[in-house]
């Protein structure tokens, strides 16, 4: 320490003799020089560049390859199982080699996006497009750009990596098994079931003859009054085929952008209902229900019908492009099923690509069978009760199916059974009993719906 002080003193004393000539011995200046020299060694030990090198080992790269995946049974949102299989092309590129190099890519968010993009099974052209977007965002951030663009790009990559580009479910095209499944879920409707079986037979023959997953056939549209089972039959069809089921509501739909999506120019942009349905299903061949096509908003009906025309036309839906994804998605494996109360508000061009199937009204005998064998067991299972805890007298069913006169569907019957089940659940929880039998003498104690006379 002393040596460094004495070495620095001469350099400071050398210019000083030229200035003062009056004083012979300027002893005081060395004192402040010592005070200045002592703090000088302090900044020199501070820079320790040995700390940054440990940063590269922080890349914990997963060893699992996104290429081939094992076929695994995945539970469907309905009752039943869907077998999922992914046939994605195997990528041989090393993860570390595929990550972009450069100082601007050392941002953790940029590295995370690049890693997520590499691990996803997506088309190569789309991957290249997304990689270019990541490069532009990295350069933007390097030169002081806004984080808003990073959020938009992160949202975009999250969507494209979550879509089932190569994932599909294995169809059940055994007509006998499909018929058993439809009979177990719906009573009667023999004509409708026969039409659906004919429809599926054509699909089975096309796949066998042409060895392809795609098919070219008109999509069915169930038309009938409220409560006749249009939506539930579409769900039953998905279960019978062992496919995923997703519903897109068209009631009150006021813009074609809700279907087509919005361009990714702002953080609020998002894909349309079709792409959302595919992501929710997790497969590229689900059953998508286009529910209530006749109830779209009048002002946007023309634009919505234009999008529907592209969805339902096998020659156009091969390259369906959502405005947000901005890349074509092949929809020729999707089974679209439409519903509506009538076809008055559906464009003629759309109807040309649909096979209209009328849903008949239920007779009283069918309603009683549905109530006893389907509605009541379903309600009991939903609430957590058993048939020993609640039973309805046989003589009461003919009067329950006509509470306020004739009805084409079973909505009123469902509401009445639901009221009875809830009242029994309350009595059991409150300790009023453990088993209840409903007949004409006490039905008014369990429901406020008027039970009509046969």
pLDDT in tens, 62-101: 343 333 333 333 333 344 577 777 766 655 555 555 555 5
Give the whole-number percent of the chain exceeding pLDDT 70.
73
Q: Is the domain of 226 the same as that of 152? A: no
Nearest to 408 by CA among 368, 359, 362, 372: 362
365 against 140, higher pLDDT? 365
Residue 384 pLDDT greater than 80, yes or no: yes
Structure tokens at 1: 């320490």
Give me the pLDDT at residue 449, please.
59
Residue 90: predicted pLDDT: 57
Mean pLDDT across the stretch 212-240?
A: 83
Report residue 439 CA to chain centroid gap: 46
Find where tokens 């099974």 sit: 121
Rounded to an integer, what distance in angstroms lies between the CA atom of residue 426 and that of residue 414?
18
Shared-domain flag, residues 196 and 133: no
Mean pLDDT of the residues in the chain? 77
Domain-located, residue 266: yes
Task: Answer with the one of 338, 358, 378 that is the final residue of a domain.
Answer: 358
CATH number at residue 397: 1.10.8.60
Q: Are residues 390 and 246 located together in one domain of the fold?
A: no
- What is the Cα 448 distance to its own chain's centre? 40
Is residue 125 in a domain? Answer: yes
Same domain, 197 and 245: yes
Structure tokens at 173: 């095209």
Residue 290 has pLDDT above 80, yes or no: yes
**Cβ-contact 400, 387 below 8 angstroms:** no
How confident is the model over 133-155, as a mean pLDDT? 80
CB-based contacts of 390-393 (< 8 A; 24+ apart in sequence): 390/420, 390/421, 390/424, 390/435, 390/436, 390/438, 391/436, 391/437, 391/438, 392/420, 392/437, 392/438, 392/439, 393/437, 393/438, 393/439, 393/440
Q: What gap in Å lies between CA 7 and CA 60, rounded to an integer?
A: 51
Residue 69 resides in a domain? no
pLDDT of the residue at 139 = 80
Find the range with the poorest average confidence among 11-20, 156-165, 239-248, 341-350: 11-20
Grade residue 55 by pLDDT with cuts at 50, 70 and 90. very low
| Sign of the C-alpha dihedral computed for residues 325, 330, 332 and 334 taken in this order | negative
**Strand stretches in 215-352, DSSP E:** 219-223, 245-249, 287-291, 320-321, 328-329, 335-340
Q: How many structural domains compose the chain?
A: 4
Domain assignment present for residue 66? The answer is: no
User: pTM here?
Assistant: 0.70
pLDDT band at 239 (very low <50, low <70, confident <90, very high): confident
| Whether residue 406 is found in the same domain as residue 339 | no
Residues 193, 279, single domain; the answer is yes
* pLDDT interval class at 247 (50, 70, 90): very high
SS3 84: strand
Q: Any bridge partners for residue 52, and if so which?
A: none
Do 342 and 368 have their domain in common? no
In this prediction, what percent of the chain has a pLDDT beyond 90? 25
**How is the chain split among helix, strand and coil, in percent rounded to 5?**
45, 10, 45
Model confidence band, residue 13 (pLDDT cutoffs 50, 70, 90)? very low
Residues 225 and 187 in one domain: yes
Q: Is the pLDDT of residue 54 over 60?
A: no
The predicted structure's pLDDT at residue 78: 42
Which of 50-54, 234-238, 371-375, 381-385 is the least confident region? 50-54
Report yes or no on 368 lying in a domain: yes
**Residue after which a domain boundary falls, among 301, 326, 358:** 358
Residue where a domain terminates, one of 358, 391, 412:
358
Domain region containing 396: 364-445
Asked whether residue 342 carries a pLDDT value surpassing 60, the answer given is yes
Lowest-pLDDT choice from 27-31, 55-59, 299-303: 55-59
Q: Assess whether 350 and 258 both reside in one domain.
A: yes
More confident residue, 257 or 149: 257
**Do 213 and 262 have their domain in common?**
yes
Q: Is the pLDDT of residue 303 over 70?
A: yes
CA distance 130 to 157: 7
Of the listed ranges 30-44, 132-146, 209-223, the one predicted with least confidence: 30-44
Same domain, 231 and 331: yes
pLDDT of residue 249: 93
Residue 158 CA to residue 185 CA, distance in Å, equals 37
How would you classify residue 353: left for phi > 0, otherwise alpha for psi between -120 and 50, otherwise beta?
Answer: alpha
For residues 367 and 410, the answer to whether their CB atoms sit within 8 Å is yes
Q: Which residue has the higher pLDDT, 367 or 90?
A: 367
Q: What is the CATH number of the domain that holds 249?
A: 3.40.50.300
The pLDDT of residue 448 is 67
For residue 162, which of 124, 117, 109, 213 has the smallest C-alpha distance? 117
The answer to whether 222 and 233 are in contact (CB under 8 A) is yes
- In-domain check, residue 454: no
């Amino acid at each position: 320490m002393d040596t460094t002080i004495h070495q620095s003193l001469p350099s400071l004393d050398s210019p000083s003799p030229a200035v003062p000539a009056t004083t012979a011995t300027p002893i005081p200046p060395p004192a402040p020089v010592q005070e200045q020299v002592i703090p000088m060694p302090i900044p020199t030990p501070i820079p320790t560049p040995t700390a940054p090198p440990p940063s590269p080992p922080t890349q914990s790269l997963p060893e699992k390859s996104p290429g081939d995946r094992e076929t695994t049974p995945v539970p469907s949102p309905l009752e039943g199982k869907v077998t999922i299989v992914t046939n994605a092309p195997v990528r041989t590129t090393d993860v570390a080699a595929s990550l972009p190099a450069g100082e601007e890519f050392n941002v953790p968010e940029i590295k995370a996006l690049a890693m997520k993009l590499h691990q996803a099974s997506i088309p190569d052209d789309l991957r290249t497009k997304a990689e270019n977007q990541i490069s532009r965002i990295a350069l933007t951030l390097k030169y002081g750009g806004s984080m808003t663009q990073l959020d938009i790009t992160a949202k975009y990559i999250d969507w494209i990596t979550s879509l089932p580009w190569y994932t599909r479910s294995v169809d059940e095209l055994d007509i006998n098994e499909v018929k058993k499944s439809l009979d177990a879920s719906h009573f009667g409707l023999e004509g409708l079931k026969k039409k659906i079986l004919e429809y599926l037979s054509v699909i089975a023959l096309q796949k066998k003859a042409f060895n392809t997953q795609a098919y070219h056939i008109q999509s069915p549209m169930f038309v009938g009054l409220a409560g006749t089972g249009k939506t539930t039959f579409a769900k039953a069809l998905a279960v019978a085929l062992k496919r995923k089921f997703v519903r897109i509501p068209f009631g009150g739909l006021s813009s074609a952008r809700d279907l087509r999506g919005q361009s990714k120019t702002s953080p609020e942009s998002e894909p349309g209902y079709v792409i959302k349905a595919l992501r929710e299903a997790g497969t590229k061949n689900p059953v998508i229900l286009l529910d209530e096509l006749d109830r779209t908003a009048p002002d946007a009906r023309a634009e919505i019908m234009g999008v529907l025309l592209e969805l339902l036309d096998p020659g156009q839906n091969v390259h369906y492009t959502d405005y947000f994804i901005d890349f074509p998605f092949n929809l020729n494996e999707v089974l679209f099923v439409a519903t509506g109360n009538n076809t008055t508000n559906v464009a003629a061009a759309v109807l040309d690509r649909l096979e209209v199937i009328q849903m008949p009204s239920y007779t009283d005998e069918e309603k009683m069978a549905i109530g006893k064998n389907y509605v009541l067991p379903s309600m009991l299972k939903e609430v957590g009760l058993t048939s020993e805890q609640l039973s309805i007298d046989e003589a009461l069913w003919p009067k329950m199916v006509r509470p306020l006169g004739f009805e084409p569907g079973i909505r009123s019957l469902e509401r009445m059974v639901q009221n009875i089940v809830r009242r029994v659940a309350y009595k059991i929880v409150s300790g009023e009993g453990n088993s209840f039998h409903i007949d004409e003498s006490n039905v008014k104690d369990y429901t406020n719906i008027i039970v009509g006379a046969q």
